[in-house]
A = this chain, B = another copy of it.
Amino acid sequence: MLSRDDPMLIDYICTRTLPRRGIHARPEEVLITVGSQNALFLAIDVLAQPNRLAVIEEPGYPDFAETLRRSDAPWRCVPIDNNGLDPASLPDDTRLVVVTPSHNIPTGATMPLPRRVDLLSRAVANDFLIVEDDYDFEMSYLTPPLPALKSLDREGRVIYLGSFSKSLFPGLRIGYLVASEPMIAAAREARAIMLRHPPTHLQRITAHFLALGHYDAHVVRMREEMKRRRSETIDALTGTSFCIAGTARDGGASIWLSAPEGMDSLGLAERARDRGVLIEPGAVFFEAPPLPCPFFRLGYGSIPLLQIRRGLQQLQKACDDLLNRPLFRPDTWA
């Protein structure tokens, strides 16, 4: 009754993908999902309980909060710093933590190894579970990615979420969940009621694409291209009014920026859109955003290299327009 996944895809993930993250998993410990959001939803569906506090990062991916909001669990945000989540800042009654150690969304912050080890020790000592969203580890092109939390986990405390949607293409919707066999069995049961299973031929097509080596070649090309785009973006930011407020040390596909003090990035985004430039205003990534919120995310994942500089010039012009508005000029504040 409960559907198996494509054995070829599962085999590839177990023998090729996960070992690159230091993770060893048996086929029974892997479940294919409709993208990594579905993996998160299933994990929360299985783990959330009315009396178990869940903790997420702030700023963080808005749909972590939204997923918890739709669950039975109470939840809280914990502010992160440039090294991601600080395990010492977790409330005592934490029972579940959702983290993005590779690249925080939106800041890109990477959790250093000592913090990873500390987080795991605390999980054991204080009896909590960790959901690790490793959605874009492939985008670690400056230095190799740090070991996944799951690879350091000796007690089965980490539920690992992976995705091919980021590195192949977003419409694919193929992700996966790695956890203990009973947890995967429970998630498989929940998945069956939710959607039966991800389309089977899509699993097989993806497995072939991966197994034939196209994926590896594609990732190498992607990394080289992203490296150039990242470098171009950082160069082009020099001399603008925008400060880098966060960036993944090992790569990533976006940069977290701050507009001049007093400026709200929502207004900046509107002006920039009129000039053909799209940015992601930062307020949505906070449960309690600063007001005004100067932060915004600049993605270069879909921007051709040659358009980056021109785009940032337009963004600067949008910023200048705002700075020159009477209401914004500091002298009018007095």
Chain B residue contacts of A34, Cβ below 8 A: 34, 195-196, 198-199
Contact A38 B173 (CB under 8 A): no
Task: Tell whether, in the assembled complex, residue B196 and residue A35 are in contact, meaning their CB atoms are under 8 Å apart.
Answer: yes
A206 vs chain B, min Cβ distance (A): 10
Contact with B along A47-86 (1 / 0, CB 8 A): 0000000000000000100110010000000000000000
Partner of A37 from B37, B172, B195 at Cβ < 8 Å: B195
- A interface bracket (residues with beta carbon within 8 Å of B): 20 to 34
Q: Which residue of B lies closest to A169 (CB)?
A: B201
Contact of A200 with B by CB under 8 A:
yes
Chain B residues, Cβ within 8 Å of A249: none
- Let me know if B199 and A41 touch, CB within 8 A: no
- Per the 8 Å Cβ criterion, residues 280-297 of A in contact with B are none
**A186-225: which have CB < 8 Å to B?**
190, 192-202
Taking the nearest CB of chain B, how far is it from the CB of A325, in angstroms? 28
> Is B201 in contact with A171, judged by CB distance below 8 angstroms?
yes
Across the interface, A70 reaches (CB within 8 A) one of B41, B173, B193, B197, namely B193
Complex copy number for this chain: 2
Task: Please give me the residue from chain B that is nearest to A201 by CB atom.
Answer: B171
If the complex has contacts A201-B171, A202-B202, are A195 and B70 also in contact, measured as CB distance less than 8 A? no
A41-B171 in contact given A34-B198, A198-B34, A202-B202 (Cβ < 8 Å) = no
How many angstroms from the CA of A198 to the CA of B196 in the assembled complex? 13
* Closest residue of B by beta carbon distance from A173: B199
* Residues in chain B near residue A198, CB distance under 8 A: 34, 173
**Residues in B whose Cβ lies below 8 Å from that of A195:** 33-35, 37-38, 41, 173, 194-195
Which residues of chain A in 212-240 are interfacial with respect to chain B, using CB atoms and an 8 Å cutoff?
none
A66→B201 CA distance, assembly (Å): 26
A13 to chain B, nearest CB (A): 18
Contact sample, A vs B, 22 pairs, CB 8 Å cutoff = A34-B34, A34-B196, A35-B196, A37-B192, A37-B194, A37-B195, A37-B196, A38-B195, A41-B193, A63-B192, A70-B190, A70-B193, A171-B200, A172-B201, A173-B197, A173-B199, A173-B200, A174-B199, A194-B194, A195-B195, A199-B199, A199-B202
> Could you list 7 further interchain pairs (A-B, Cβ under 8 angstroms) beyond the known A34-B198, A35-B195?
A33-B195, A37-B196, A41-B193, A70-B190, A172-B199, A173-B197, A173-B198
The 9 closest A-B pairs by CB, nearest first: A171-B200, A38-B195, A34-B195, A173-B199, A37-B196, A41-B194, A171-B201, A35-B196, A66-B193
